[in-house]
Amino acid sequence: MTSSSSATTRHDATESRRVHNETKPAFKTTEFIAYVVMVLGVLIASLVVDGNGNGDNGASGDFFRADRAWLYVTMLTIGYMVSRGLAKAGSHATRNA
C-alpha cells in the first residue's frame, strides 16, 4: 500500500508543476509603460513645439519637425527592444516534459 500511495503522491506532484518564465510579459513591465509615455511625449511635442514661440505651430519654420520626432521614436524603440532582449537573455524557461 505504501508504494502505491507514494506513487500517487509523486504523480500528483508532477501534474501540479506549472510552466514558469523568469521574466514578465512585456506589456506588464514598467519599461513598456515608460516607452509608451515617452513615444507619446515625443509625438505630442513634435506637434505642439514650434521655433518662434507664437503658437502658430511652426508656420514660419518648424523647430521640431516630424522626421526628427520619428527618428527619436525609432531610437526609443531600439532601446526598448535591446532592454527586453537583455531581460530575456538571462532567463530560462522551464516547461513541462
pTM for the structure as a whole: 0.59
How many independent structural domains does the chain possess?
1
In this structure, what is the dihedral angle of CA atoms 66, 69, 73, 78, given to the nearest 10 degrees? 110
Diameter of the chain measured on Cα atoms: 90
In a domain, 57, yes or no: yes
Encode pLDDT of 3-46 as tens digits: 555 555 555 555 556 665 566 777 787 888 999 999 999 998 88
pLDDT score, position 12? 52
Is residue 95 within 8 Å of residue 20, measured between CB atoms?
no
In a domain, 18, yes or no: no
pLDDT band at 89 (very low <50, low <70, confident <90, very high): confident
In a domain, 39, yes or no: yes
In a domain, 5, yes or no: no
d(C-alpha 84, C-alpha 21), whole Å: 14
In a domain, 10, yes or no: no
Share of the chain above pLDDT 90, in %: 23
Check whether 54 has a pLDDT greater than 70. no
Domain that holds residue 67: 25-89
